[in-house]
Amino acid sequence: MDNADKVNILIVDDRRENLIALQAVLDSEKYELIFAHSGEEALKYVLQYEFAVILMDVQMPGLSGFETAEIIKERESSKHIPIIFITAISKANEHVNNGYSKGAVDYIFKPFNPNVLKSKVAVFVDIFEKQKEIEGKHKKLQEETKELNEKYKNLEHIIDAKTKKLVETNEELKLSQEQFKKVFQFSPNLMAIRSLETRKYIIVNKSWTEFTGYSMDDLHGLNEQTIEIKPTTKGFISLNHTPLDLTDGLFNEKIKYKTKSNDIREGLLSTETSIINGEKCIISAITDVTEKQKLEKQIARLERLNLVGEMAAGIAHEIRNPMTTVLGFLQLTKNDENQSTTTKDYINLMIDELNRANSIITEYLSLAKDKATDKNLLNLNSVINALYPLLQAEALMGNKNVVLDLNGCPEIYIDEKEIRQLILNIGINGLEAMSETGKLTIRTYCEEEEVVLQIKDEGHGIKKELIENIGTPFFTTKDEGTGLGLAICFSIASRHGAEIDIDSCKSGTSFYIRFPLKSFIKSPLNLFEQH
């Protein structure tokens, strides 16, 4: 037998004749007998080899058998090795109990019966071999598990490779079902399984119910296209008017779908057929990209604002210089008494237009991303209360009304002048959008880690296709206007680390300005300015 296949047995005794006697009894092609003449030598061998059992004399010079056993049992790597004490000294219970307390599993007194000793050693060797067999199987199982996990990282591999594997053994069937269940249920994508024959929903995952708002109970027995999936790719044609999520072979097809609350969201649809419990089904996965596209639009808007702001800072000075010169000469000409009334009227008109151009440049400069700000710890409600008389006076001139709904909010670091400008711009836009008797509501409240300012009007709303352009410099829906008012508001919000959301319908429009509490840390150098 190869030495690598033999089981190591350590025999510890300081007397050579005892070692020879034990060798004669235990000599076998299955065993590799290793001899130690002292406790110290035995400890060295325990560090070098793996033993099925240790036979140890109790009475030895230097470290005794008890002391050696105690050290072996204290080590994590060797504490599991069974120790049999072989001794010719006292058989008293106290002495035997001391041996067991040091970690012995058995006690043999000299002279011993060779057959009994061989049997006891054989038992421990058998236990050792079975343990090794179990460890080998466990290691193999770990390797197989690792291999399976690598295979099922991709959804297509789950459907293809695991389906073939499931029919091989019942154990693999259980494992595959558990793996698929976890991937399906905890996937961030909206996943559903439908029968191709009945078109009924068999199961949907957690993400599907959270995004669509439908529960599994809502879908029970339904075979309609519940979430109304529609393609957004031009020229896409569905064969036989088949619902998109029942169309095989789609990969990242751009779609729109409707939630239970009638919201329209966007996503990428992929589909694959599979046989589940003997029934031909189709598995659909929708990657929701609504928030991603919204973020991309916000980034694009900020980039446009930054570009305009940089242009404003660069060219405003060059434009104002010649304007100042022209304005000065016009005023000198106006003061000339020889000018006719008609000429003076023309000059006044030109001066008014130059002043109007100057005010537009001033607004234009407000878009600059590096504009200096003076942030102080203020309560948003106090800023709104100070503005209320001005807004109310503007509203009353058009037989309209301004209502405040201010709730308790913590103080935040804001530039009061800029926030006043933001509220006035949005508020006056709201008043202009309403007919007589309309009501403008300004509300503040806390939501999670944000202070929210809501300005709501009762106008006719903004067309959905126009909302994406709101805040773009020079874009306006009014007949008269520069298109800079809301662009300035978005620029101010950006400098405060805030976001502006717009919710519009036929009964009015709401602007939500969300100030994140966590970002408001006072810095004398204004290092927390964001573009």
Percent of the chain with pLDDT over 90: 11
pLDDT of 236: 64
Cα-flanking dihedrals φ and ψ of residue 392, to 5°?
A: -65, -40
Which of the two residues, 443 and 296, has the higher pLDDT score? 443
pLDDT of 518 strictly over 70? no
Please spell the DSSP secondary structure of 358-415, one letter per residue: HHHHHHHHTT-TT----EEEE-HHHHHHHHHHHHHHHHHHTT-EEEEEE-----EEEE
Q: Helix/strand/coil (H, E, C) string of 199-246?
A: CCEEEECHHHHHHHCCCHHHHCCCCCCCCCCEECCCCCCCHHHCCHHH
Whole-angstrom distance, CA of residue 53 vs CA of residue 50: 9
pLDDT of 461 strictly over 70? yes
Whole-angstrom distance, CA of residue 219 vs CA of residue 318: 65
Whole-angstrom distance, CA of residue 98 vs CA of residue 112: 20
Which tokens in the block code for residue 433?
């959008």
Mean pLDDT lowest for which of 126-130, 225-229, 476-480, 505-509? Answer: 476-480
Band (pLDDT 50/70/90 cuts) for residue 528 is very low
Tracing tokens 């007589």 back to the chain, one arrives at: 436
Mean pLDDT lowest for which of 240-254, 267-281, 333-347? Answer: 333-347
Residue 440, beta-bridge partner list: 402
Residues 244 and 250: beta-carbon distance below 8 Å? yes
**Measured CA angle at 317 (ends 482, 300), to 5 deg:** 50
Question: For 441-450, what is the mean pLDDT?
Answer: 91
Q: What is the mean pLDDT of the chain?
A: 80
Give the tens place of pLDDT for each residue, 17-38. 888 888 888 888 888 899 999 9
Mean pLDDT lowest for which of 72-76, 223-227, 483-487? Answer: 223-227
Band (pLDDT 50/70/90 cuts) for residue 402 is very high
pLDDT of 260 strictly over 80? yes
H/E segment holding residue 269: strand 264-276
Up-side HSE of residue 248: CA atoms within 13 Å toward CB? 8
Q: Tell me if residue 140 falls in helix, strand or coil.
A: helix
pLDDT of 23: 87
pLDDT of 530: 37
Question: For 449-472, what is the mean pLDDT?
Answer: 84
Which of the two residues, 41 and 179, has the higher pLDDT score? 41
Question: For 378-382, what is the mean pLDDT?
Answer: 92
Up-side HSE of residue 224: CA atoms within 13 Å toward CB? 5
Question: For 500-525, what is the mean pLDDT?
Answer: 77
Give the tens place of pLDDT for each residue, 312-324. 655 665 666 677 7
Whole-angstrom distance, CA of residue 426 vs CA of residue 489: 8
Whole-angstrom distance, CA of residue 155 vs CA of residue 192: 13
Residues 65 and 12: beta-carbon distance below 8 Å? yes
pLDDT of 457: 93
How many separate helices (H) and strands (E) can be counted in the chain?
Answer: 15, 18
pLDDT of 396 strictly over 60? yes
Residues 512 and 481: beta-carbon distance below 8 Å? no
Residues 281 and 246: beta-carbon distance below 8 Å? no
Residue 91: C-alpha distances to residues 21, 59, 87, 94 (Å): 21, 13, 9, 8
pLDDT of 217: 81
pLDDT of 367 strictly over 60? no
Band (pLDDT 50/70/90 cuts) for residue 452 is very high
Whole-angstrom distance, CA of residue 116 vs CA of residue 102: 23
Whole-structure pTM over 0.75, yes or no? no
pLDDT of 159: 61
Residue 486: C-alpha distances to residues 226, 279, 423, 500, 501 (Å): 38, 56, 10, 10, 12
Give the tens place of pLDDT for each residue, 264-288. 888 999 998 888 888 889 999 999 9
pLDDT of 489: 86
| Cβ count near 306 (within 10 Å) | 17
